[in-house]
Amino acid sequence: MTLSSEVSAETASSCEHAGRAQVMAVVKADGYGHGATRAARAALAGGAAELGVATVAEALALRADGITAPVLAWLHPPGIDFGPALLADVEIAVSSERQLDELLDAARRTGRTATVTLKVDTGLNRNGVHPSQYPSMLAALGRAVAEEAIRPRGLMSHMVFADQPANPVNDLQAQRFSEMLAQAGAQGVRFEVAHLANSSATMSRRDLAFDLVRPGVAVYGLSPVPELGDMGLIPAMTVKCPVALVKSIRAGESVSYGHTWTAERDTNLALLPVGYADGVFRSLGGRLEVLINGKRRPGVGRICMDQFVVDLGPGRTDVAEGDEAILFGPGTGGEPTAQDWADLLGTIHYEVVTSPRGATTRTYREAQTIEP
């Protein structure tokens, strides 16, 4: 199975929506399944100024691949050694005094001043310093600054309802964030940049941009608010494979494990050499369609670990072994999209595009302009 993608054009679109704010392209989870390093390079070429990842390991992998742009990592288990990150000039976001203490330990051991972002919780109740602990955290930051162990660069938070642009919680979070920014200044802690907006807010709430925005899924051409349409974005990922086998069966014959599908008439079948071990969800058995030679073809029977079957219909078939089958893509050629899969699965397209694995190989293409 082959995955191909283009990212730079979609980053440029995010930059346009960001207005005066800088763009931090989020390339966590292996670039949302698109390949972190290639996605990072394309995003930077498209206008992103910085990169964001979840873990230190992800940041160090980018550095190992030659990415020199600013990188921020914000999710850390207890006991992590921040030393390698500081030596690689990775910016660290901390969400607790314990994390700050571990970062300070690394700064002292390496002799490197740590560039720090403080992540605060404005309502998501996930990662980030709780408001009740914020004064103590600011005091700890102040002491670390006095020690010259850290440089406080950013204040960040994450939104709850950004995919619902009119939800009043968005404004409440922005208000809390602004108040926490002012509170830091009053305690003598000055942040160079503040950032709250994710993809949804970047594309639909420019008033929440602050100094920097952090688009994630939009960088890959996926609408962060599907209810609002494609928002001018074109999905970067196409997943396809060759037809491995074409065969004919008689009416009354059944297909795959459990014989859950039986042919009502003589028909032709195509075998596709991908399955749930490669990211084709087993629950899509008998529900998904693929595009072969410009026509949608229904999947039939159960999806297996490494293969599934599609019905080509009766009579002489126009499909040959080796022909390309598109599982999902941007939809511009009539193929299903990641959002189509998400709708069938009752999930979000984030899960769909981060699922290809196993026998999947990646190829990359230059961004293309598709005329309306």
Give yes or no: 28 in active site.
yes
Give yes or no: 220 in active site.
no
Same domain as 195, residue 55 = yes
Which segments within the chain are labelled E, that is strand? 2-5, 22-26, 50-53, 71-73, 91-94, 114-119, 150-156, 193-195, 212-213, 238-242, 245-249, 254-255, 261-262, 267-272, 289-292, 295-300, 308-313, 324-328, 361-364
Which residue bears the tokens 């162990």?
149
Q: How far apart (Å, rounded) are the C-alpha atoms in residues 14 and 24?
A: 10
Same domain as 217, residue 254 = no
3-state secondary structure of 229: coil
Percent pLDDT > 70 in the chain is 94
The model's pTM: 0.94
Same domain as 268, residue 217 = no
Beta strands 238-242 and 324-328 are: antiparallel
> Which whole number is the average pLDDT over 340-347?
98
233 occurs within a structural domain: no
Q: Kindly tell me if the per-residue pLDDT of 369 is higher than 60.
A: no
Same domain as 151, residue 99 = yes
- Residue 20's pLDDT band, with cuts at 50, 70 and 90, is confident
Give me the pLDDT at residue 7, please: 72
Same domain as 15, residue 159 = yes
Q: Which two tokens stand for residue 248?
A: 């004919």
The number of folded domains in the chain is 2
Same domain as 171, residue 244 = no
Is 126 annotated among the ligand-binding residues? yes
229 occurs within a structural domain: no
Choose the catalytic residue: 28, 119, 220, 276: 28
Give me the pLDDT at residue 365, please: 82
Is 203 annotated among the ligand-binding residues? no
pLDDT tens for each residue of 134-176: 999 999 999 999 999 999 999 999 999 999 999 999 999 999 9
CATH code, domain carrying 242: 2.40.37.10
DSSP structure string for 104-164: HHHHHHHTPPEEEEEEB-SSS-SSSB-GGGHHHHHHHHHHHHHTTSEEEEEEE---SSTTS
Average pLDDT, the chain: 95
User: Smallest Cα–Cα separation from 216: which of 366, 39, 41, 62?
Assistant: 39
Q: Kindly tell me if the per-residue pLDDT of 297 is higher than 50.
A: yes
Q: Kindly tell me if the per-residue pLDDT of 367 is higher than 90.
A: no
Q: Kindly tell me if the per-residue pLDDT of 284 is higher than 90.
A: yes
Q: Kindly tell me if the per-residue pLDDT of 371 is higher than 60.
A: no
Give me the pLDDT at residue 125, please: 98
Same domain as 244, residue 209 = no
> Which whole number is the average pLDDT over 332-339?
98
Domain span including residue 101: 7-222
Percent pLDDT > 90 in the chain is 92
CATH code, domain carrying 98: 3.20.20.10
Choose the catalytic residue: 119, 240, 247, 257: 257
